[in-house]
Amino acid sequence: MQADVRELTVFLEIARHLNFRRAAGALGVTPSALSHSLRGLEEKLGLRLVHRTTRSVALTAAGERLAERLRPAFRDIDDALDDLNTFREAPVGKLRISAARVAIRLALLPVLRPFLEEHPGIEVELVDGAAFVDIVKEGFDAGVRFHERVAADMVAIPLGPRLRSALVATPAYFAKHPPPKTPGDLAAHDCIQFRFSNGSRYAWELERDGKALEVETRGSLALSDQVEILEAALAGLGLAYVFESQVESLLRQRRLVRVLEDWCPSYPGFFLYYPSRRHLPPVLKAFVDFVRART
């Protein structure tokens, strides 16, 4: 007996999330229905595809092989269905984008309102992904990152304006700690760290008069999200390295104080990136064309 497309779709969602509850939510079914479908597929194939316990979900070797073979096939199916958009006056469908929360706030949300007004048939799904993901493997149409962190085999286009960093803390923090006058003074401060998914810490990048520095700061708090770092700074937990556009209103309100401003140059902002293809899916092409027209 052959497996049907529904069962294979269920299996791919489980393989993508490695979590029955999240996979069930993505498909709009119950976890028990998902589990029943998977069992049916495994019985038909006579193979266990997923190791599952009360604490973890993992693919078997057979499951890994099947997922690898199915992903490109299902992408071909999606592309074939997307091609039908050429028969419509405007593209219709879902656009899935992976981006860190700060990129969503600063780069994506400002362009989405006019884009969705222009394309009412498109539904955009933004997934907060602070860690780097394989957007093709995870089923995303595109992602948003800094250009130097985009894989070489991807197409990348600017999204949003140039950015500038800002070093900030609350007035209460600086009442107890003298504001730094030079980058070397940062060694005496409790600096809120940005932690990458691999455990490494971001070295603060400063520059003045052509002299660039990467400062290894120290602090009692490390976070993996730029928005949370700003919230920690507002709570008086230390000195933070954030984006200038995040704190403009907070500086005007004197809720935060900026230091070492002359050491904070501007640099290219976020980039929208997507797989290099001869023919882009119409929904993605519509967004790419919209972004290009605004730059």
Query: Do 82 and 122 contact (CB within 8 A), yes or no?
Result: no
Mean predicted confidence (pLDDT) in 183-206 = 92
Give domain 88-161+269-293's CATH architecture: 3-Layer(aba) Sandwich (3.40)
* Interatomic CA distance for residues 239 and 229, integer angstroms: 9
- Compare 71 and 54 and report the one with higher pLDDT: 71
pLDDT tens digits along 99-110: 988 999 999 999
Q: Mean per-residue pLDDT for 71-99? A: 78
Number of Cβ atoms within 10 Å of the Cβ of 88 = 10
Give me the residue spans of the domains in the chain: 5-68, 88-161+269-293, 163-266
pLDDT, position 21 = 86
Helix-then-strand count for the chain, H and E: 10, 15
| pLDDT value at 2 more than 80 | no
Is residue 234 predicted with pLDDT exceeding 80? yes
- What dotted CATH number matches 163-266? 3.40.190.10
Strands 270-275 and 142-146: antiparallel
**What percentage of the chain exceeds 90 in pLDDT?**
48
User: Average pLDDT of 34-55?
Assistant: 86
Looking at residue 261, what is its pLDDT?
A: 96
What is the sign, positive or negative, of the torsion defined by CA atoms of 8, 13, 18, 24?
negative
Fold: same for 88-161+269-293 and 163-266: yes
What is the pLDDT of the chain when averaged over all its residues? 88
Confidence check: pLDDT of 80 > 60: yes
- Residue 1 in this model has a pLDDT that exceeds 60: no
Beta-sheet strands, E only, within the chain: 50-52, 57-59, 93-99, 122-128, 142-146, 154-159, 163-169, 193-194, 204-208, 211-215, 222-223, 240-243, 257-259, 266-267, 270-275
Question: Which pLDDT tens digit goes with each residue over 7-24?
Answer: 888 889 898 888 888 888
Round to the nearest angstrom and report the end-to-end CA distance of the chain: 53
pLDDT surpassing 80 at residue 90 = no
The pLDDT-based confidence of 204 (bands split at 50, 70, 90) is very high
Which contiguous run of DSSP H or E holds residue 66? helix 61-83
Considering the segment(s) 5-68 as one domain, its CATH architecture is: Orthogonal Bundle (1.10)
CA distance to 99, 113, 233, 249, per residue, from 107 (Å):
10, 12, 22, 17
**Residue 130: which pLDDT band, with cuts at 50, 70 and 90?**
low
What beta strand segments (E) does 138-281 contain?
142-146, 154-159, 163-169, 193-194, 204-208, 211-215, 222-223, 240-243, 257-259, 266-267, 270-275
- pLDDT of 111 reads 94
